[in-house]
Structure 1
Amino acid sequence: MRPAPRTFLFLSQVYVPDPAAIGQHLADAAEELARRGHRVIVYTADHGYDDPSVAYPRREVVGGVEVRRVPLSSFGKSSIPVRLIGGALFVLQTVLRAAFVKRVDAVVVSTSPPMGALGAVTLGLIHGAPVKYWVMDVNPDQTVALGKAGPRSLPVRVFDVVNRLVLRRAADVIVLDRFMAARINRKVDVSKKLTVMPPWPAEDSGTVVAHDANPFRKEQRLDGKIVIMYSGNHGPSNPLATIIEAARRVDDDPRLVLMFVGGGIGKKQVDAAVSDRIRSLPYQPREALRHSLAAADVHLVTVGDAIPGIVHPSKVYGAMAVARPIFLVGPAENHVADILAAADIGWHVRHGDVDGAVRVLREILAMDPAELEAKGLRARELLSRSGGKAASCARFCDLLERGV
């Protein structure tokens, strides 16, 4: 029996059609709640996060969800101060606007911007509504891990105080993996209201798209190529130096193409390395993801050495959904390493091990296509055990409805 219709208020600096993964996952959940008969209102920024020159309509209804976009709240990712200013203005304006929404039954917030959860707690108090906190990355831990602030600096200590306040006030805390759960519980023990729930792929597993039937491969002239693809945010949490250097060393096989799709601060490093075997493309439209992801023969996932438990490598699910093996570059202990340990679906080398990465690239190039395909099919089968996108999103929405 479904609960009576409620009003859910979502706060997120990014939302579709912006390509940021957080916004896309929140849109999936918001639209599922709307399908269940609830009223869903989303407050988000009116300009793109990765590309602030992109403007979106101030108000529209998308998938049954009322989307309200706030001005002067996204100025790009050029520096931490610029991000903080945009995030602070977004939270301040959203609280002032959403305070006057009538009959709010729950407030849903993730971590874009990082201070958004404080705005959600404020709105929860104003409306007497529970806060559902979906932790997709952990700050200020990420800033400290990347060496951009000291662990005892005043901003970091203030941020941690705010984090503990939000965690105590939230009715439910959802994290993405066991490493993140451990990190959050070290801040505040929220184990009684904490749920570990990995995100879902952008598209459900469907028929495997064959290379010869893939329009993206034709557009990019990839016939006869073996494509190792990195698709998503190019940020400091996902170092690419090891694989770029390995690709430079494998210069005797013209079939090899490393294709980097997406954007972010680290995109400059990729663009500087562009060659016959290293290609760079922007984010692809959401409706084109199925074909762009399936254009790869192998998907690359990188996890920074200090990043497990701070940023979740969600791009792995899109690769598995299109039945492609995984090439992981990262530390011994991380979520993707757990996945690779569960089945023979890929390879794993550490950052800095360029020789090891070269060996993997040559192994992929020499591998029988049927064996490569089998690895990909095992990856899709492993993902399908969770029920896929629809089932995972439904379980998440069940959690949002709980107690509301």
Structure 2
Amino acid sequence: MSKKNMLIYAHYYAPDAASTGQILVDLAEGMRDRFNITVICVVPSYTGTIAPEYKTKRFYEEMRNGVRVIRVRVPEFSKANKMSRVRNIVSYFFGAMRATFKAGKQDVVYSMSQPPILGGLLGVWGKWMKHAKFVYNIQDFNPEQTLAVGYVKHKLVTDLMMAFDKFSCRQSDLIITVGRDLVETLNKRFRGQRVPRVTMINNWIDEKQIYPLDAANERVQEFRARYGLDGKFVIMYSGNIGLYYDLENLVKVIGKFPNARTADGREVAFAFVGAGAVLDELKRYVAEHDLTNVTFIPYQPKEDLVYSLNAGDVHWCVNARGIKGVSVPSKAYGIMAAGKPILGVLETGSEARYLIDGTECGRCCEPGDYKAVANEIHWYLDHAGSEELVDMGKHGREYLVNHLTRDISVNEYARAIEALL
């Protein structure tokens, strides 16, 4: 039997470092033996800048590890400037619509909920243009996410956003969400009536690329030394330093630990690895309050992520209040893969908290309860170097290997999609 054709709309795709982009790389490459995959995405630009070789044409085509990739040129942008981000996203949307005609015959169209609202509408467009089945992967619910953090406050705008995304949901042949709480949100949207067909499949991590390393590992020590973390107890945040994590307030809690030491006598360092819309705000606060125990580290190349994650003793996994049922922080999977304990600031009933509490791979408190956050930091400092922390990391790694690997989740995606055809 000949393979069916599958078109994937991917706002970001390798080599961009976006977590959703990496998910789509794993998905596309993991299903290439079962489908002929075409990906439509932006030119590499997750940081906001675009290399000169991607500035001369409107579209670029390439084969990447057996996957056909059509890249759309977009304008450069600043993550701190809302209007420049909007221009960039809208440019991708219309460019991807045009690129659809370059994709040829397709049997199934897969689109993710990124960029917000437009990702779903691209899937509908692809379904109509290609007379194909439409699979809508909801990683984040919008406008619920933008409402939760006040990013968009005009009711007319948010009502239109909701109407458009519900339209995309209704047009889908299958919705795949990434959390049990997101399934609940979908049911609430449609009030339990005529709910679109939905299944839940967890996100994943490649456990062969991210895995526990001994603290004495040369590359881990090299990373720690490079950023002044050598010999310190490191509480690390790794990922998008963006709008949905309440980091602006969490750094204020960190400010209450200026000269903290662990029970075993180590200095405490708080490391932020990554970039995003609130990075400059965090840097300003740290500079204004002379927080010498806070370090900012740029995004790490994919091949070095195993070393940076292992350089942390404890990792933050956080969301702002109101994100339950809206989004699942994918960084939880990387932390579990590295075998590190988690300091979770997550709402009860959210998917990431289900995973952390259920596997006992960390400790959690509610977003907005900053006294509880401080207490959890104290707890980790008091237990630094203990077998209890080692066991937390082992629990997370063991659960991930058995339930949350790339092969397991990608096979679930492939089976769900094949069932439509």
Aligned to 1:233: 240
Q: CA deviation at 1:230?
A: 0.7
Please, which of 124, 135, 139 is the counterpart of residue 136 of structure 1? 139
Whether the 8 Å contact between 1:48 and 1:76 is mirrored in structure 2 is no
Scaled by the length of structure 1, what TM-score is found?
0.91
Aligned to 1:399: 416
- Alpha-carbon spacing, 1:88–1:396, altered in 2? closer, same or farther (3 Å): same
Aligned to 1:27: 25
Letter in 1 for 2:37: V
How far apart, CA to CA, are the structure 1 residues paired with 2:194 and 2:45? 33
How far apart, CA to CA, are the structure 2 residues paired with 1:337 and 1:49? 28
- Structure 2: give runs of 5+ residues left out of the alignment: 55-59
Whether the 8 Å contact between 2:248 and 2:278 is mirrored in structure 1 is no
How far apart, CA to CA, are the structure 1 residues paired with 2:223 and 2:129? 52
Q: Deviations over 1:84-110 (max 9, x none)?
A: 322222122222221243221111110
Aligned to 2:199: 195
How far apart, CA to CA, are the structure 2 residues paired with 1:45 and 1:206? 26
Aligned to 1:328: 344
Aligned to 1:265: 277
Aligned to 1:340: 356
Please, which of 78, 86, 101 is the counterpart of residue 88 of structure 2? 86
How far apart, CA to CA, are the structure 2 residues paired with 1:288 and 1:56? 25
Please, which of 234, 250, 260 is the counterpart of residue 252 of structure 1? 260
Q: CA deviation at 1:369?
A: 3.3
- Alpha-carbon spacing, 1:206–1:17, altered in 2? closer, same or farther (3 Å): closer
Please, which of 168, 175, 178 is the counterpart of residue 176 of structure 1? 178
How far apart, CA to CA, are the structure 2 residues paired with 1:123 and 1:350? 40
How far apart, CA to CA, are the structure 2 residues paired with 1:327 and 1:264? 21
Q: Deviations over 1:317-344 (max 9, x none)?
A: 1100111111012333422222233133
How far apart, CA to CA, are the structure 1 residues paired with 2:29 and 2:359? 33
Listed as ranges, the matches of 1:63-74 within 5 Å are 63-72=65-74
Q: CA deviation at 1:132?
A: 1.0
Letter in 2 for 1:137: D
Aligned to 2:104: 102
How far apart, CA to CA, are the structure 2 residues paired with 1:174 and 1:183? 13
Aligned to 2:123: 120
How far apart, CA to CA, are the structure 1 residues paired with 2:308 and 2:216? 13
- Alpha-carbon spacing, 1:315–1:331, altered in 2? closer, same or farther (3 Å): same
Number of aligned residue pairs: give it.
400
Q: CA deviation at 1:190?
A: 6.3
Q: CA deviation at 1:214?
A: 4.7
Q: Deviations over 1:298-331 (max 9, x none)?
A: 1101111111111211111110011111101233
Identity %: 25
The 3-state SS of whatever aligns with 1:233 is coil
The 3-state SS of whatever aligns with 1:99 is helix
How far apart, CA to CA, are the structure 2 residues paired with 1:197 and 1:292? 27
Scaled by the length of structure 2, what TM-score is found?
0.88
How far apart, CA to CA, are the structure 2 residues paired with 1:101 and 1:122? 13
Please, which of 309, 317, 328 is the counterpart of residue 293 of structure 1? 309
Whether the 8 Å contact between 1:87 and 1:116 is mirrored in structure 2 is no
The 3-state SS of whatever aligns with 1:220 is helix
Aligned to 1:42: 39
Cα RMSD of the aligned pairs, angstroms, is: 2.3
Whether the 8 Å contact between 1:49 and 1:75 is mirrored in structure 2 is no
Whether the 8 Å contact between 2:357 and 2:363 is mirrored in structure 1 is no
- Alpha-carbon spacing, 1:340–1:100, altered in 2? closer, same or farther (3 Å): closer
Whether the 8 Å contact between 1:111 and 1:135 is mirrored in structure 2 is yes
Aligned to 2:148: 145
Aligned to 1:16: 14
Please, which of 209, 218, 223 is the counterpart of residue 222 of structure 2? 218
How far apart, CA to CA, are the structure 2 residues paired with 1:61 and 1:5? 18
The 3-state SS of whatever aligns with 1:313 is coil
Letter in 2 for 1:193: R
- Alpha-carbon spacing, 1:184–1:77, altered in 2? closer, same or farther (3 Å): farther
